[in-house]
Amino acid sequence: MTICEATPTTGADGASGDQGFEAPVGRAAGAGLVGLELSDADRSEKFARMRAGELGSVHSWELVTAVDGPGTRMTIFLSGCPLRCLYCHNPDTMAMRNGEPVEASELLLRIKRYRRIFKNSGGGITLSGGEVLMQPAFAATLLRGAKEMGIHTTIDTSGFLGAACTDEMLADIDLVLLDVKSGDPETYRKVTGRALEPTLKFGRRLAEFGTEIWLRFVLVPGLTDDPANVETIAEYAATLPTVSRVEVLPFHQMGKDKWESLGIPYELGDTQPPTNAEVDRVRDQFRAKGLTVY
């Protein structure tokens, strides 16, 4: 994901009953492969279908409003992520093997049911994760299918795998939520375990392509809050003409229990959320560059 500000759940908020929104990627609602012992031939067919974009590994989905893009959105959380962010709210999405196999065609049929809701609210679909670009062929199939239905499309990405996003795929993306986790390469590596430059490069490519960007930054006291670090991101954002908003997201401890239940050491157990004054200071740093900030 990404920022993982939204927390994947196994229940779709506001998405039941009369809207006919069924349980998201229920353990028993996969594509018929769950629980089966796969032979080598089955396994290779499965991977071939994943490479072809027909089958994906999905953690969950939910219907949300006013997050992950404009309007009411179906946010789909794909499994697998190359980053290991210290503050990840969804560590259960990091491993692709933990997702459920889902047919792109099935998912597109579900998306189709919400066309009117998307149209009336100015919403659409958001592909999140995990990292959406870990499964570029599957994402491309969903994005193409959504655009053919006239549905607004967003991806929520760290940009680390931006090279996996083809120009054809970019043409099917209306908005990118670009999660820039740090402006300082050392801090970025400390936060994510990976290099910063691929993200910066992807942002520049999006701007050249004309793709709208909402740049997102998680403010973590003692980790990403250094004014010089924030300034670097603000300067970068100001160079991208298609950045239409910046979202400063205060760190919180909502993911802590998941780390503990997965048995993974969680390093930010003692970190407090930033104060309102700290959040205001950071937002003002972005505003000083002429950016629209939330």
133 binds ligand SF4, rule: CB under 6 A: no
Among 131, 172, 174, 184, which residue sits at the site for ligand SF4 (rule: CB under 6 A)? 131
Q: Specify the stretch interacting with ligand SF4 by CB under 6 A; choose among 59-67, 128-136, 206-214, 280-288.
A: 128-136
Quote the CA–CA distance of 46 and 38 in Å, as a whole number. Answer: 9
* Token pair for 227: 């004014």
Work out the burial of residue 207: count CB atoms within 10 Å of its CB; fewer than 13 is exposed, 13-18 middle, 19 or more buried.
middle
Paired tokens of 25 = 């990627």
Q: Is the dihedral of CA 167, 111, 216, 254 positive or negative?
A: negative
Nearer to ligand SF4 by Cβ, of 75 and 158: the residue is 158
Separation between Cα atoms, residue 103 and residue 218, nearest integer Å:
33
Q: Phi, psi (5° rounding) for residue 239? A: -85, -10
Q: Binders of ligand SF4 among 76-95, rule CB under 6 A?
A: 81, 83-85, 88, 90, 93-94
Identify whether the C-beta of residue 156 lies closer than 8 Å to the C-beta of residue 128.
yes
Measure the CA angle with vertex 23, ends 21 and 28; round to 5°. 140
Considering only residues 155-174, where is the footprint of ligand SF4 by CB under 6 A? 158
Find the part of the chain contacting ligand SF4 (CB under 6 A) among 60-68, 127-135, 143-151, 235-243: 127-135
Interface with ligand SF4, residue 180, by CB under 6 A:
no
How near is the Cβ of 193 to ligand SF4 at its closest, in Å? Answer: 9
Range in contact with ligand SF4 (rule: CB under 6 A) among 103-111, 124-132, 239-247, 270-278: 124-132
Cβ closest to ligand SF4, residue 20 vs residue 222: 222
Q: Give the type of residue at 16.
A: S
Minimum distance between the CB of residue 84 and ligand SF4, rounded to whole angstroms? Answer: 5
Smaller CB separation from ligand SF4, 58 or 151 = 58
| Max Cα–Cα distance, the chain, nearest Å | 59
Residue with Cβ nearer ligand SF4 (53 or 129): 129
Cα 174 from Cα 37, distance rounded (Å):
39
* Sites of contact with ligand SF4 (CB under 6 A): 1-2, 4, 81, 83-85, 88, 90, 93-94, 129-131, 158
